[in-house]
Amino acid sequence: MESLKALVTTKNNKGPKCTIEILNRLLIKDNSAKVTEIKKNLLAIFSILSPMEIYGLIKIAPPACAEKIYPVDLVVKSEEKEVIYEVVRLLKSKFNPGFNFYVECIRRGGKMNCREVELGIGIGMMNYAKVKFNEPDFIVVINDIGDYATVSILKEGQEKLSVNSLKEK
């Protein structure tokens, strides 16, 4: 799982079509890139490119079948205590004290208790950062995909892919 670099959600039953469209964008820079539908309407991207390079390649010309993209900052075993510990450690190593954030945990076939994870990370960051839902500096998105969970640190709305964003206003 060490080369898992991003997750992409697709529109209903568009996984196979989206796999081809995403590969067309990635193979230009990484001819060993792989895209696999790990759950229905959920694609995993494996590549030598960085998560942000993949994000940029897909965001600049998003496939119509793709809905959201989550560049992966961390892959961790899907156990509540492990996820809480690793996310708190990651946030404290990556950011200076005083930021605002919140945690969004999404179960995609896993059995993790998302509420426990969200609260645990909030408590673990006490006196270091504030949980703020209305004006966060960023959002920590945890995707529970079974045996593993991915962690993505995003600005609000950064994960959304839309062909409409390419139209001039």
Query: 131-158, pLDDT tens digit by residue?
Result: 999 999 999 999 999 999 999 999 998 9
Residue 2 has pLDDT above 60, yes or no: no
The pLDDT score that the predictor gives to residue 66 is: 95
- Tell which of 22, 47, 72 closes a domain: 72
Burial class (CB in 10 A: 0-12, 13-18, 19+), 168: exposed
106 lies in the same domain as 143: yes
Domain span at 33: 4-72
What tokens were used for 124? 């673990």
96 lies in the same domain as 142: yes
Say what percent of the chain tops pLDDT 90: 91
Q: Is residue 73 very low, low, confident or very high in pLDDT (cuts 50, 70, 90)?
A: very high
> Residue 114's domain is classified under what CATH number?
3.30.2130.30
126 lies in the same domain as 149: yes
Query: Average pLDDT over the chain, rounded to whole?
Result: 93
91 lies in the same domain as 42: no
Mean pLDDT of 71-77: 96
80 lies in the same domain as 40: no
Number of domains in the chain: 2
85 lies in the same domain as 141: yes
The pLDDT score that the predictor gives to residue 163 is: 56
Residue 166 has pLDDT above 70, yes or no: no
The pLDDT score that the predictor gives to residue 3 is: 87
Q: How many beta carbons lie within 10 A of that of residue 94, not counting itself?
A: 10
Task: Specify the higher pLDDT residue, 162 or 158.
Answer: 158
